[in-house]
Amino acid sequence: MERIILLCVVSTCLSAIHAQKFLFSPKWGPVGYKEHEEHGDGTAMDDIIKANEFHASRIIDGTTSLREGDIAVTAGRRSKVCFARSCLWSKSVDGHVYVAYRLSPDYSEMETKLIKKGMENIEKGTCVRFVPRTHQQDYIDIQPKSGCWSYLGARGGRQTVSLQSPDCLRVGVISHEFMHALGFVHEQSRFDRDNYVTVMWPNIWRDRLRNFEKFKTDNLNLPYDYGSIMHFGMYAYSQDGEPTIVPKNIKNIKLGQTSSLSHIDKLKINKLYQCGDADDY
C-alpha cells in the first residue's frame, strides 16, 4: 500500500512539472510573448504583453476593461479615438503642455528614476513637460497596480497609469503608456495600416483578435511609422510562434521600439498639440 501511495505522489509531481513547463515555455505562454533572445527583436509592447498576460486581467474592475492589450476603457466613456481636442491636455500660454503627475510612494528610488527617464523620453524634442502635482485638478496617478496600462488621453480629474514593479518598469514600457495618456493609440490601429502591413489572422490567439482592430484616426499627415514605440512587434499575440504582423514590400525592417521614441513619434506629439516643428525643441 505504501508503495502504491508513493507511486501516486511521484506521478502527481511529474504531471505538475510537465504542466508547468507547458504553461510557461516560450512557445506556449504567456500568450503572445516570444522570448526576445529567439528573434532578437523585442519591443516595448512585447514586454507589456508579457506582463499583462501573466498579471493583469482584461477586466480591471466592474466598469473598466483593457483593450488592445493595455488601453483602459470605462464603459460609457470614449474609448479609442482620441484625436479630438476634448481629450488633450491643456497647453500653457508659454507653448508647453504640462502634464501633472503623482507618483506612488511604493516605488523605490531606482524605480522612480526609471519612471522619470520614461518621461524624459517624451519631453526631449517635444513641448510636453511632466510636472509633480501641486494643485492641478487633472493629473495622472502612477501606481504599481497589476500590469502595464493607461487610459487614453486626458479624461479630467485623476486618472491612473499602472506600472507594476518590476515587470513594467522598463523605459520603453513607461514611455509607451505615457503616450497612451497623451492620446495616442497603437500605430497598427491606423485605418490605412493594410497598405503597409499584413495582419496574419490565423497566427493570432483566437481570443486576442480584437487587439488587432483598426480605427479611423487622424494620422496628422505623417507617414506610417514601422519604428514607432506604439507599434506591436512582429510576433505580438502569436499562438504558434509565427509572425502576426508582416511589413509589406519591405524586408528586414524592425517593427516597434525597445526603449526610445521614434522621430515620427515626436513629430506626432508636436502636431497633435500644435506645438510647431520638432526642430523648435
Q: Which of 177, 187, 213, 242 is catalytic?
A: 177
Consult the annotation and say whether 186 binds a ligand: yes
E strand or H helix at 151: strand 148-151
Angle formed at CA 191 by CA 189 and CA 197, multiple of 5 degrees: 70
Count of helix runs (H) and strand runs (E) in the chain: 6, 9
C-alpha cell at 208: 486576442
Decide if 177 is catalytic: yes
Consult the annotation and say whether 231 binds a ligand: no
* CA distances, 245 to each of 25, 41, 89, 137, 166 (Å): 22, 13, 32, 40, 28
Q: Is the peptide bond before 30 cis (omega within 30 degrees of 0)?
A: yes
Core vs surface per residue 203-240: b (16+ CB within 10 A) or e: bbbeebeebbebeebebeeeebbbbbbbbbbbbbbbbe
Give the whole-angstrom CA distance, residue 179 versus residue 152: 9
Give the whole-angstrom CA distance, residue 132 versus residue 112: 12
Give the whole-angstrom CA distance, residue 154 versus residue 131: 15
Instruction: Indicate the pairing of strand 245-247 with strand 197-199.
Output: antiparallel
Consult the annotation and say whether 18 binds a ligand: no
Q: At what angle do helices 171-182 and 109-123 cross, to 10 degrees?
A: 50
Residue list, annotated binding site for Zn(2+): 176, 180, 186
Active site residues: 177
Residue list, annotated binding site: 176, 180, 186
